Amino acid sequence: MRVSQNFGKLMKQAQQMQAKMMHIQEELEKRTVEASSGGGMVKAVVNGKFELLSLTIEKSVVDPEDVEMLQDLVVAAVNEAIRMAQEMTREEMAKVTGGMNIPGLL
């Protein structure tokens, strides 16, 4: 009887944690991070679902003779914004999981 009570308690805690995590995921979808490269010439905004929401490129960095530099700046800004969004998600989820590493979470 004692084992089943402990199991029931554990299941209830797991359900509560899952509900909290779902709430945090919904909140993170509304939050954004912004990263830039080239001294702010290229800016990328990513949400908590790791979706690129906007990309801003200053006209002065657009050089038809050096497209590769622009491509590098875009990639750098987007990758940094995604990294920042992942870190934001990790930090918020750690508040719920107590720092426990849960496979598949992130």
- CATH architecture for the domain at 2-97: 2-Layer Sandwich (3.30)
CB 34 within 8 A of CB 45: yes
Reported as a single tens digit per residue, the pLDDT across 8-34 is 888 888 888 888 888 888 888 899 999
What's the pLDDT score for residue 106? 53
Residues 6+ apart with CB under 8 A from 27: 48, 92
Q: How far is CA 69 from the centre of its chain?
A: 26
pLDDT digits (tens, 9 = 90+) for 66-93: 999 999 999 999 999 999 999 999 898 8
Q: What is the pLDDT of residue 20?
A: 86
* Cα 91 to Cα 51: distance, rounded to the nearest angstrom: 18
**Tell me, what DSSP letter sits at residue 40?**
T
Indicate whether this model's pTM tops 0.95.
no
Mean pLDDT of 38-65: 96
List the chain domain ranges: 2-97
